[in-house]
Each structure stands twice: as structure tokens, then as C-alpha cells.
Amino acid sequence: MPFRIRGLDTAPFAHLFALTDTELATQGALRKIADGPHPCRISLTDATPGDAVILVNYGHHAVASAYRMRFAIYVREGEETYDAVDQVPAQLRRRTLAVRGFDARGMMTGWELIEGIFLEEAIERQFADGSARYLHIHFAAPGCYAARVERA
């Protein structure tokens, strides 16, 4: 079954990189210098040590249901939005993931915990439920939002 994985659009985050650390703090955000593989949710690539990243709270599931969600994410300046059909970025392959299916009303239809090397199989299982309209992938350890998957 064809699928499409998308990172976040750059536009909602572009202004953050021009803000001072004080201005970022008033928005609950923080500029950091990566000391490890901080995952950028725009490009779905990992920052390397020394890269500047912004840690910001993001509403990744802004629905009118009990499953409305927001959490901390990292974004990196100058990145292009990852958008590919039937391809899995290396960032997702290297991690333990939670894959969650949602219906048109934003209600959860299914979930599973998998190693990223098995992501295609999990996507197929979740989309086998005809009511699943889209999936969210979360990094299992910190539990934070990673990417959206749609039927292609």
C-alpha cells in the first residue's frame, strides 16, 4: 500500500531563528547547540553536534477530540520539508517508534510499538483498518511527535 511521510512545514518556525534567546523564552522555546543527534521534525534528519536547533512546543494533533496533542520538538534553520512516497528517512529507521492510527474525527484507531526498520509493515497494518485516515509516528523513548504518514 503506497504511503507518504511528511515532515513539518518550515513556515510556522522560520521566525524563531531571528529571535533572541529572551524572545524565544517568552514563547516557551529555547535555542540549543546540539550535543548529539537532535531530530529535526522539518527535514527528518538528525542534527550533528554543534548545529543550532530550536526546542519548541508544537501542537501536532490539533483536533477536537480527546487525542488532541502537543509536545516538545526540535527544528533546525534552513531545512527543507521531508516529503516522500514509499520512502522512510534514516532518522526513523534508527529509532524505536510508536505508530498510531487516527480516523477522520481524530480518534485513535490503532497503535503499535516497533523498531524503525519495520516501519513499512506497521504502516500497512495500521492502514489495513479502513477507518484509519492518517498515522502519527512518535519516538518511543521520549514519546514525542516525529512525523505524519498519509495514504498516497
Q: What per-residue confidence (pLDDT) applies to 33?
A: 96
Using one digit for the tens of pLDDT, what is the confidence trace for 66-107?
999 999 999 999 999 999 999 999 999 999 999 999 999 999
> pLDDT, tens digit, for every residue of 27-71?
999 999 999 889 999 999 999 999 999 999 999 999 999 999 999
pTM as predicted: 0.92
Which cell is 140 given? 518511543
Confidence at residue 144, expressed as pLDDT on a 0 to 100 scale: 86
Render 16-63 in DSSP notation, one character per residue.
Answer: GGGS-HHHHHHTT-EEEE-SS-PBBTTT--BPPTT-EEEEEEEEEE--
Question: Is residue 14 scored above 80 in pLDDT?
Answer: yes
**For position 1, what pLDDT does the model report?**
85
Distance CA 132, CA 134 (A): 6
Q: What percent of the chain has pLDDT over 90?
A: 93
pLDDT, position 141: 82
Q: What is the mean pLDDT of residues 104-119?
A: 97
pLDDT at 77: 94
According to the model, what pLDDT value does residue 142 have? 75
pLDDT score of 110: 97
pLDDT at 123 over 90: yes
